Amino acid sequence: MNGKSPIRRGLGRGLDALLGADREAPPEEARDVAPVGRAQLALPVANIRPGRLQPRRRFDAEEVEALAKSIREKGVLQPILVRPIAGESGMYELVAGERRWRAAQQAQLHEIPALVRELTDRDTLEVALVENLQRQDLTAIEEARGYQRMIDDFRRTQEDVAEVVGKSRPHVANTLRLLTLPLPVQEMLEDGRLTAGHARPLVGLEEAERVAGRVVAGGLSVRETERLAQRVREGGWASLEGKRSSGERGAGRSPDIVELEHDVSERLGLIVQIKAKGESGEVTIRYKSLEQLDDLLAKLRR
């Protein structure tokens, strides 16, 4: 395609084509204010700001701490990518490498190796998307929002987006459809309770939120989720009632208790078990991560 910028040609070959070239050390006098060029420079960590167009919103604290430990021992092995901030001499905006920058701060480094480029907003978003996708750092919802922003803000078509990020057009289209899910289901995707495979069968489903709650509570597989969603499409939510297996109900268990378990599980998005002993009993809530526990505590406080 004629008229492609060097950035977009670099994206087509992968980020290494953009970030891996010309990493020679700069002369000492170039270390204070970085010129826009191909050389790798040492920039003050404090002179770098997070990217406005960064599609990734969540950074795992344990991953950042592990990277900070590695940086303390071995230094930053790959430079970050930044662009100058217009009107602010010596200040730069992150384009790629925010986790490395955060870890460098945590490791108390004063400088970090960086490549400085003059990039448009469109190029900046595309580079950030490709970097995160190559490292599989984005949730499906973050990926979808990045695609949607390329389409809305920069007049890209789905075909354009697919070419830039190296995905198929059906993948881009299916990912974008996740943005039509109810916000509570999108939150389950963002915090890892659901995968994209679990969420796709719920697109367009009127009872998507209730089905998602049951999927999370029951720890269902993608195939089981597909079957569950199909039953709801064909017969509505009522088609699920009274059709639970005898194993699910449990021998001698009250149907009311079983129903209450499912109701609470759906509301919390976690597996809940209720053991009744006369007028007393026990309620057990299972969580798989500290994030899920934090969400549970926040809901209980409300």
Query: Which active-site residues does the annotation give?
Result: 98
Burial label, 258 (beta-carbon count in 10 A; 0-12, 13-18, 19+)? middle
Tallying the residues shown for the chain, one arrives at 302
| DSSP codes, 122-175 | HHHHHHHHHHHHHTT-S-HHHHHHHHHHHHHHH---HHHHHHHHT--HHHHHHH
Q: How far is CA 112 from CA 86, 115, 202, in A?
A: 21, 10, 44
Beta-ladder partners of 285: 272
Quote the CA–CA distance of 55 and 95 in Å, as a whole number.
10
Burial label, 249 (beta-carbon count in 10 A; 0-12, 13-18, 19+)? middle
Quote the CA–CA distance of 252 and 257 in Å, as a whole number.
11
Element (H, E) at 74: helix 61-74
47 contact partners, CB below 8 Å, separation of at least 6: 90, 91, 92
Q: Are 131 and 94 in contact (CB under 8 A)?
A: no
Structure tokens at 43: 């920039």
> What are φ and ψ of residue 240, in 5° steps?
-85, -25
14 contact partners, CB below 8 Å, separation of at least 6: 130, 134, 166
